[in-house]
Structure 1
């Protein structure tokens, strides 16, 4: 039996190989064989970590979530300035953000096809809305930066939908949506919501 440190190191190696496959080929290209080839290992080794494709995909989603959370910035502003920072942090305006968004968008097929994975994605979007963005939308409302009668659930949902929709357009047509244009469109949306 390998020492715990060896097992932990191997698990990190496996996770890094999973991420490289995801970044290069998306969830559609994520297979035990592809990860094994990336590591220069046998698929038999990987079955110790992932007894099924579903386990491999679940681990990949965990990796994507961990990397997303670890890379998040803490807004320096308040109210709408903080809302802008949170949303700009999602947009594919850097190579790292493009890679991360490609991974997330490629995960949607798997999540739509599997009820368990779909429930995980539903929970992730709920956390994005309620924990990541909503506190700053409420702060903006309290500061008078949003109309008094604004429905804050609708504002939050609209901003998440706008940002993710723009992200998809950028991934398919990056020349039309360079970083400056993405941020200008975001600013226009925030101005429109501010009334």
Structure 2
């Protein structure tokens, strides 16, 4: 009897190898061969599941976004303020795994400048982030949609900027988190 193959697991193992390489050397420096070596699989397996480097790169960003959505969906049922803070703090690299994830995210952001499919995936993810933050702020703050959207964009921009500062070592993850929490508290008290 043939052995059952978990194709999703195999695809994930390859993408995890891709992410490790992207975190170390950026997207442009990878090849199917280097990803296969890092993932501990044959070049043929990588080609079987992805075909081309471009398809692998797109699959990598798609899975990165899907995993963030799954983490966010796990917060369902929690108060709007908690769900909002999850979105804002999710990208701040507290652990080494988090640092790798955020480094890969920003490598994809750079790639989006010249790659339409990557740009489309990131733009959609960003729009959903703004929509979710807007909804949570409306619920938590009792403000109209326009005000909630403006607050959401401010908070997301703050989170992005602080994340970059953590990545380059200018501030700690704890300082970034405290800054976001303080800024959010000021929003709540300013009405």
- Output the CA distance in 1 between the equivalents of 2:146 and 2:45: 55
Task: Flag structure 1 segments of 5+ consecutive residues without an equivalent.
Answer: none
CA contact (8 A) 2:20 2:100 kept: no
- 1:151 corresponds to which residue? 147
- 2:35 corresponds to which residue? 35
Give the TM-score normalised by the residue count of structure 2.
0.81
> Does residue 160 of structure 2 align to residue 161 of structure 1?
no
**Once structures 1 and 2 are overlaid, which stretch shifts more, 15-24 or 55-64?**
15-24
Matches within 5 A, 1:40-79: 40-72=40-72, 74=75, 78-79=79-80
- Output the CA distance in 1 between the equivalents of 2:146 and 2:128: 21
Deviations 1:64-118 (A, max 9, x none): 1233233335177634454334322332223332221111011112111112221
- Output the CA distance in 2 between the equivalents of 1:177 and 1:183: 10
Over 6 Å off, 4+ runs: none
Q: How many residues align?
A: 186
Q: Secondary structure at 2:165's aligned position in 1? A: helix
- Output the CA distance in 1 between the equivalents of 2:46 and 2:93: 32
Q: Secondary structure at 2:50's aligned position in 1? A: coil
- 2:177 corresponds to which residue? 183
Task: Flag structure 2 segments of 5+ consecutive residues without an equivalent.
Answer: none
RMSD: 2.7
> Does residue 167 of structure 2 align to residue 171 of structure 1?
yes
- Output the CA distance in 1 between the equivalents of 2:49 and 2:3: 14
